[in-house]
Amino acid sequence: MTSGNISIGDAELEIMKVLWKAGEAVNTQYIGKAVESKGWKRTTISTFLTRLCEKGAVTSEKRGNMYYYTPLISKRDYRRAQTRSLIRSLYDGSAKELAASLFEEETLSEEDVKELRAIFDDREE
């Protein structure tokens, strides 16, 4: 299963963000501290982790009496897949339409525009 085929819910994505940021295998205690503001119980976090393992997004390894979790998909790959899906489903496959929408809605700051121009200028070289 590739990152493009994995459907991750909003709450599961919060867990994935913790795993990506950690950069190493972490246990539920670590994850619990990272998402403390959500008010989730340890059983809720465990449920999310079980789902993510079943979906192939995360792997677990038992060390002693604790499980440690590692993402199987990278943040970059997941973002790419989700961006492609968004462009395909909402913008009929047109990245240009997505960009136009962002400009029309004025959701981009001047700094955002400068950064995007720099990216496009680098690609042309």
For residue 125, what pLDDT is reported?
Answer: 55
* 3-71 has CATH 1.10.10.10 classification: yes
- The pTM assigned to this predicted structure is 0.79
Q: Say if residue 31 is exposed, middle or buried (CB neighbours under 10 Å; 0-12, 13-18, 19+).
A: buried
- pLDDT, tens digit, 9 for 90 and up, residues 41-84: 999 999 999 999 999 999 999 999 999 999 999 999 999 989 88
Q: What is the pLDDT of residues 5-28, one digit of tens each?
A: 688 999 999 999 999 999 999 999
In the predicted structure, residue 1 carries a pLDDT above the cut 60: no
Q: What is the pLDDT of residue 104?
A: 80
Least confident of 44-48, 89-93, 109-113: 109-113
The residues spanned by each domain of the chain are: 3-71, 95-125
Please identify which residue in the block is written with the tokens 């499980």: 67
Give CA–CA dist 35/113, Å, rounded: 32
Which pair of tokens denotes residue 19? 């795993």
